[in-house]
Chain A
């Protein structure tokens, strides 16, 4: 058990190290001179001010020190939770801005992931059972899973917010409200949350439903299913086993999909100007706020790694085979 998780943890630590190093390397080793790019993007300034800006940025990134020192400095401030200051946020620490945005992103991600996973698997299993459901859910599922998250968000926003005015247009809560612990604020929060949640939920739902439907068909062809059928077990029992076993790859699938799902949340938030990380990413890009962008990047990496680790733990709890293998490994 310890060996298994130790190994996983090591992979994740290395991953974080690699990601952080990429983060550090990009401004320094990208082809071309990123500082020059930054400066060039500032239109119509004199060469003197340009030189001043170059010096300023070099100093800011610590680029005037030897590379190993730069690398150590980077890690030192990273481990102190210092991701620099945000240009977009007028000098607010990046960490602080990210922390303010994270709850919104999590409020979208966690319910949409869990609910879509549950609903998609249930419908997928149903589809494998009845032909007419198979013929309806399957095409819908393929359309949904091929839908770009942002497009569904755009369409939902256009139809339900802009045209029918059922939901508020954008943001995390109304412009006229202050975050308070009141019922009014809460309902407003929920009203703003529904559409981004729906966009994420629907696209993911399609993917899980199809995945489950295809998995279960494989399981129904497996040896243990045939043995049960040969011993006259009713379809109900065979399907129950197939469903349970088909769930396991779906859990692994969740881990594999995390990156895509997070990306989906980012673009969805952009459509709705929902004040989570995606919105922040968008602002960072629009305002060329590289500290903020790189900070968010590291933050997303850590979040995805954590989520992966949670999935690993859940998988071990759910699949007896991994537990047995581990018992054998430690014995």
Chain B
């Protein structure tokens, strides 16, 4: 009955469904996916949070255009409704909201780019290893395992500490370069299980090259899975970058949520002076952003995977 849940009109076709159907199984009605998406509380809540955060990240710096690191304003102001002081000011007189909005921007950027880079590497390694198999798989597997056990933050520590000037772009790239291994491993396993399906054989028999089979047959069939992986990499990259910032290896001269926490605790004496409005927003921002991504991951999983739905 396993497969019956996927194609409700064909109850009982489980065992022979896979080998009889040369058409890819992923082609379920788009309408059904949308229907479940609009019914999923997890999806709706997380999507709303992400939209709000994206709005702040995009328009926040335009509405409150105070230079986030100008250090010119009145220090340690409590949050007020006045524009330019919504979240108060820091020990150095910077506008916290402006820092927050710009920091959120940086977080989206790091997640988007760092997560994206990790996803690309992970897919490349995972697809090739899973599809080709053999010695290539062995080697890629070994490389993946090596990168998997090396603690990412530790490597980034050593690398970034030697860089005199660090930008957000740089940070995103380094984070991406070191956070792909688990994705590669997961994608490899998925590819491996798809490889032996009949529609892949058909594609191979029709003379398509390995890359074309991967790009046009395997990847589309895993698209929902790949998307879920990307979401997790996105969130992971944000958290990793925040830790790096907090250790003191964040973008030099830039703004980020991690740097806000770093500056407030190490230089701004925010704990001693009780400037809570300085370190609370970046944390809430990261939790909302990463938490929403994680919840969306599970929500989408339930939407894509009919086994997890309860009707």
A residues adjacent to B (C-beta < 8 A): 11-12, 14-15, 18-19, 22-23, 26-27, 30, 32, 34, 37, 40-41, 142-143, 145-152, 154-155, 157-158, 161-163, 210, 214, 217-218, 221, 223, 226, 255-256, 258-260, 262-264, 266-267, 270-271, 281-282, 285-286, 288, 290, 293-294, 296-297, 300-301, 304-305, 308
B274 interface residue per 8 A CB criterion: yes
Known: A27-B162, A150-B243, A150-B246. A157 touches B154 (CB 8 A): no
Q: Tell me the complex Cα distance, A53–B159, Å.
A: 22
Instruction: Check A30–B249 contact: CB distance below 8 A.
Output: no
Binds A, one of B63-71, B92-100, B143-151: B143-151
Q: Tell me the complex Cα distance, A259–B198, Å.
A: 39
Out of A154, A210, A256, name the residue touching B279 (CB < 8 Å).
A154
27 example contacts (A-B, Cβ-Cβ < 8 A) are as follows A11-B145, A14-B142, A15-B146, A19-B150, A22-B159, A27-B162, A32-B164, A34-B162, A142-B291, A146-B235, A146-B291, A150-B242, A151-B283, A154-B261, A157-B271, A162-B272, A163-B274, A210-B298, A221-B307, A259-B153, A260-B153, A267-B247, A270-B246, A282-B247, A290-B161, A293-B158, A297-B155
Instruction: Check B276–A148 contact: CB distance below 8 A.
Output: no
Known: A214-B298, A217-B308. A285 touches B287 (CB 8 A): no
Task: Using CB atoms, name the residue of chain B closest to A214.
Answer: B298
B265 interface residue per 8 A CB criterion: yes
Instruction: Check A281–B162 contact: CB distance below 8 A.
Output: no
Instruction: Check B155–A148 contact: CB distance below 8 A.
Output: no
Out of B150, B159, B182, name the residue touching A256 (CB < 8 Å).
B182
Q: Tell me the complex Cα distance, A34–B249, Å.
A: 16
Q: Tell me the complex Cα distance, A34–B308, Å.
A: 53
Contacts of B128 in A (CB 8 A): none
Instruction: Check A148–B258 contact: CB distance below 8 A.
Output: yes
Q: How far is the CB of B43 from chain A (nearest CB, A)?
A: 13
Instruction: Check A285–B294 contact: CB distance below 8 A.
Output: no
Interface set, chain B 151-186, CB cutoff 8 A to A: 151-155, 157-159, 161-164, 182
Contacts of B276 in A (CB 8 A): 158
Contacts of B293 in A (CB 8 A): 146
Q: Please name the 8 residue pairs, one residue from A and one from B, whose CB atoms are nearest each other, closest first.
A: A151-B283, A259-B151, A146-B291, A263-B153, A146-B290, A15-B146, A37-B164, A300-B154
Contacts of B283 in A (CB 8 A): 147-148, 151-152, 154-155
Instruction: Check A267–B246 contact: CB distance below 8 A.
Output: yes
Out of B153, B159, B258, B289, name the residue touching A26 (CB < 8 Å).
B159
B282 interface residue per 8 A CB criterion: yes
Instruction: Check B151–A11 contact: CB distance below 8 A.
Output: no
Task: Using CB atoms, name the residue of chain A closest to B295.
Answer: A142
Contacts of A223 in B (CB 8 A): 2
Residue count of chain B within 8 Å CB distance of chain A: 54
Instruction: Check A258–B164 contact: CB distance below 8 A.
Output: no
Q: How far is the CB of A200 from chain B (nearest CB, A)?
A: 13
Task: Using CB atoms, name the residue of chain B closest to A163.
Answer: B274
Q: Tell me the complex Cα distance, A182–B157, Å.
A: 38
Q: Tell me the complex Cα distance, A262–B293, Å.
A: 23
Q: Tell me the complex Cα distance, A214–B298, Å.
A: 9
Q: Tell me the complex Cα distance, A288–B35, Å.
A: 56
Contacts of A148 in B (CB 8 A): 239, 242-243, 246, 258, 261, 283, 286-287
Instruction: Check A22–B286 contact: CB distance below 8 A.
Output: no
Q: Tell me the complex Cα distance, A214–B307, Å.
A: 12
Contacts of B286 in A (CB 8 A): 146-148, 151
B133 interface residue per 8 A CB criterion: no
Known: A214-B298, A293-B161. A262 touches B151 (CB 8 A): yes
Contacts of B145 in A (CB 8 A): 11, 15
B79 interface residue per 8 A CB criterion: no
Q: How far is the CB of A145 from chain B (nearest CB, A)?
A: 7
Contacts of A11 in B (CB 8 A): 142, 145-146, 149
Instruction: Check B162–A26 contact: CB distance below 8 A.
Output: yes
Q: Tell me the complex Cα distance, A259–B179, Å.
A: 11
Instruction: Check B265–A154 contact: CB distance below 8 A.
Output: yes
B73 interface residue per 8 A CB criterion: no
Q: Tell me the complex Cα distance, A267–B279, Å.
A: 15
Task: Using CB atoms, name the residue of chain B closest to A221.
Answer: B307
B187 interface residue per 8 A CB criterion: no
Contacts of A19 in B (CB 8 A): 150, 155
